[in-house]
A and B are shown apart, each in its own frame.
Chain A
């Protein structure tokens, strides 16, 4: 009787060469070389203060991206109404704060509005509406409501106020907004990995027909994931308003990212993280890293003295690069099946 033949387990390099084309490996390698040279040569890059700055910079967009990832993973593409949800939420929060209702009531009031907004969009998407069309319509509606409600004026509330701990406070040397980002990232990833709901998100996203056959309809899933995305957007609105003690319906249109559009930045973050646009593949952890990665490259370029033009170009290139690499990787892995 001969002994069974055992194959040696390939190491990571052998697996990479086996699974991915030389083109993909070369692309990623070239990018990593540029990235590490940039980091090593940027003055003051590897300081604790700068590393905290990078994560803080990524926090608000990252939290929104985590919420959106649930929608994308469930196969419902993107919500194009994120910045408008945030716009209505910030108006609601600041109006309540300036009326003297305090942080807790203002927070709950804002979250209820965001939940209604998200769930309503989820119902329409769950009924078969195209997510792009539904959320494009919702975007106009939500922004219009915020604009009408605030009369397009800046709503301010005087310091000291009950929301300052969130906007400008810190814990163990980290800004509370950064702490919130880390906690939300952990909670979201745990939810996706270890709960029934998380597994349903992947199942419905990967194969809607299979999900339906096993009793998991997209109707309920669309409502839940849209609600999560809206709540995350509302949280960002509250945190930002708490920081600047004011609100304006246009804050999220003109203030985030050099691209000037927060929704686009959030979608870019989800894409750079390497989540599948078709659903079923990816994670909130990827989106969180996507946010930190974009922030790192941007930070590195500022330290190198680049002004906004080349930095916008770099973010654009990163998105294109990520989409290309992940498409090639996915194609490669499918060909192995």
Chain B
């Protein structure tokens, strides 16, 4: 064996030893499979899990996919094939149904899996130890209550017209059914009536396009209220309504959710309110659940939601939430979208 080969062998061995020691220095190791940091919401979520994991002394590796289940499946196979498995997996599937095979493969290793962001379904419940993430129903219900409140105030002031336009997620998306049903339940029994429901797609551009088409389709009927399944969609919808000559806050009252749109619209009175849904909180909650599981071997609650308080122009400057890291966060830090954070 040459001197060079021996030296290389020593170096590799030393590297492996240092690597093992550095791994051992962490309280636990976590691997998270999720979407890309390039998406504003997920970018903040990743910041949440990384910062909180560091705070707790956990080693975390994040595998991002470009909203592509095949890519995520490949990442799962790569991680499993290395043989160096973590203490916990965090699983945010790109497509919960198509990704079931990968989730099963993760669970078969015997390592606990925490599902996040998308509520567990009947098929994947058996492979996870719990869920941490947003409550689509709660945020939609809160939006419905806010709209009821606005409608009651309008009626009390002698106003008429309670037609609602819903700017929705694609109807095939899992969150759509949960959101629209919860919203309908919340406005049931009031004067509010949904007269249109358009699912152009996610984001501001699609919100604009969907609303513009519905304004044309609903000519002859007044649009008095608009519900955005999230604020990004609603922001585009508000532009379309304004272009149609409607005055937001006066002719039309808009309520959204998720606080991923435009804070200035609420400040200007063009949007009545939203519900706070913080990706930062979601990331922190995921690590909190991991910590609870590692310490006790189970979760107190199988389903764990992030808080979704309502936010209106009156509360926008005073709303703050304490993170799971103990710090108090302002709404700008908690929200995604154009919120200045």
Contacts and interface: CB of A to CB of B under 8 A. Distances in A.
A and B assemble together: yes
Interface of A: 43-44, 47, 49-50, 53, 56-57, 60, 143, 147, 152-154, 156, 158-159, 168, 170, 175, 240, 243-246, 248-251, 253-258, 260, 298-299, 302-303, 307-309
B72 interface: no
Interface of B: 36-40, 43, 67, 170-172, 198-206, 208-210, 212-220, 235-236, 239, 242-244, 262, 264, 268, 336-341
Contacts of A245: 262, 264, 338
Given A258-B201, A308-B201, A303 B213 contact: yes
A154 B336 contact: yes
A168 B203 contact: no
Q: Which 6 A-B pairs have the closest CB atoms?
A: A255-B203, A156-B338, A50-B216, A152-B43, A255-B205, A246-B338
Contact of A53 (B206, B212, B236): B212
B242 A44 contact: no
Given A152-B38, A152-B40, A248-B40, A57 B212 contact: yes
A257 B205 CA distance: 9
Given A156-B340, A260-B201, A309-B172, A249 B219 contact: no
A257 B214 CA distance: 16
Contacts of B239: 168, 243-244
Interface centre among B39, B217, B244, by most chain A C-beta atoms within 10 angstroms, is B217
A249 B66 CA distance: 13
Nearest to A45: B216
A271 to B, nearest CB: 21
A168 B40 contact: no
Nearest to A243: B239
Nearest to B211: A53
27 contacts: A44-B216, A44-B217, A49-B215, A56-B212, A153-B341, A154-B40, A154-B339, A156-B264, A244-B338, A245-B264, A246-B338, A248-B40, A249-B38, A250-B39, A250-B40, A253-B38, A254-B201, A254-B203, A256-B205, A260-B201, A302-B210, A302-B213, A302-B217, A307-B199, A308-B171, A308-B199, A309-B170
Interface centre among B171, B201, B336, by most chain A C-beta atoms within 10 angstroms, is B201
Given A153-B43, A158-B264, A246-B338, A308 B38 contact: no
A302 B198 contact: yes
B219 A255 contact: no
